[in-house]
Amino acid sequence: MNAYLVSIATFASLNVILALGLNLISGFCGQISLGHAAFYGIGAYGAAMAAVAGVPFPLALLIGTLAAALAGVITGIASLRVREDFLAIVTMGVGFLFLGIVRKAPWFGAEMGISKIPAAPFDKTGLAAFAMFSAVALIALSLHVRRSWMGESFRAVADDEDAARTIGIDVAYYKLVAFLIGTAAAGFAGGLYAYLTQLVVPDAFGFVQSVTILAMVVIGGIGSTWGVVAGAIVLTLMPELFRFINDYKLLVYGALLLAVMRFSPAGMAGLVQRMFARRV
């Protein structure tokens, strides 16, 4: 396979992991997050710094994942008392806070980021295969969560927190677990990103990246695992297939988000469902 296709397959897998992580927090558990890229970044910086310090690949990846999950749980705790638009603002704030810290702190490489990250123990094709395998594993986990009583409880929390409490659901605990799993997935993707590019700079994890991940979730169909997977793949491929989109990425994503909200709030998954419903 040529290097270009390998690279696209890897990025598509990373985006699937990121989008499914956010879907768990926002789609399943109803907690809107506009700062998902920060956890992607924390994973990338965590793994990169560990790798540069000589930590082997699996352990560095684990460090990135755990660092992001820890930050996710802390964000979750700080967000327990806020909902909806306030939560969106808090999570957006976390994103800016992360950027502010890594941009200014010399031990994070400031604007230059972290370079000379050692290569993964396998070549680019191997890394792509590993990323794809991880994405598939997360798809399986996501489908399982949805089927389990954890998924149903998330749904209850997303629908009405107070009503969920009165039937014995520990709303705070469920929210924290949603943040934990979702941000751990982002951290894992970040670790893979660090090994893939061997260079991490703050700009890769900014607000635009957070909105891009959210766009994948919303355009795919918030709450639907397969919809979100499709959304992540389509939005990864689109700028590659139509070069001009790359220059107007935000404009196109914004227009798509508006169109989805207006014509199919359940995203691509909703469209497909409606098509099948009509045929029956």
Partner 1 sequence: MLQVRDIAIAFGGVQAVRGVSFEVGTGELVGLIGPNGAGKTTVLRMLAGVLRPDRGGISFDGRDITRAAIHRRARAGIGLTHQIVRPFRSMTLVENVMIAAASGSTASPWQALFHVQRKAARDKAMGLLDRLGIAEAADRPAHVLPLGFLKRMQVARALAFDPKLLLLDEPLAGLSYTEAARLADLIVALNREGRTIVLVEHNIGEVTRVVGRLLVLDNGAVLAGGAPREVMARDDVRAAYLGKMSRQNE
List contacts with partner 1 (CB under 8 A): 144-145, 147-150, 152-153, 155-156, 158-160, 162-171, 173-174, 177
Is residue 168 helix, strand or coil? coil
Q: How far is the CB of 139 from partner 1 (least distance, A)?
A: 16
Q: How far is the CB of 219 from partner 1 (least distance, A)?
A: 20
Q: How far is the CB of 77 from partner 1 (least distance, A)?
A: 15
Q: How far is the CB of 155 from partner 1 (least distance, A)?
A: 6
Question: Among residues 92 and 158, whose Cβ is nearest to partner 1?
Answer: 158
Question: Among residues 153 and 236, whose Cβ is nearest to partner 1?
Answer: 153
Q: How far is the CB of 13 from partner 1 (least distance, A)?
A: 24
Nearest to 96 by CA among 208, 250, 247: 208
Nearest to 42 by CA among 61, 59, 65, 23: 65
Question: Among residues 22 and 235, whose Cβ is nearest to partner 1?
Answer: 22
Which 8-state DSSP code applies to residue 250?
H
Question: Among residues 111 and 160, whose Cβ is nearest to partner 1?
Answer: 160
118: Cβ–Cβ under 8 A, 6 or more apart, which residues? 51, 52, 198
The CA R_g of the chain, rounded to the nearest whole Å, is: 18
Q: How far is the CB of 153 from partner 1 (least distance, A)?
A: 5
Is residue 114 helix, strand or coil? strand
Tokens 């396998």 map to which residue? 122
The CA–CA distances, whole Å, from 67 to 26, 115, 151, 187, 243 equal 21, 19, 25, 7, 35
**27, 151 in Cβ contact below 8 A?**
no
Token digits for 205?
């994890």
Q: How far is the CB of 154 from partner 1 (least distance, A)?
A: 8
Question: Among residues 103 and 165, whose Cβ is nearest to partner 1?
Answer: 165
Question: Among residues 150 and 208, whose Cβ is nearest to partner 1?
Answer: 150
Token digits for 240?
């590659």
Give backbone dihedrals phi and psi of 200, rounded to 5 degrees, phi first: -120, 130
Question: Among residues 73 and 238, whose Cβ is nearest to partner 1?
Answer: 73
Which 8-state DSSP code applies to residue 200?
B
- Residue 114 bridge partners (DSSP): 200
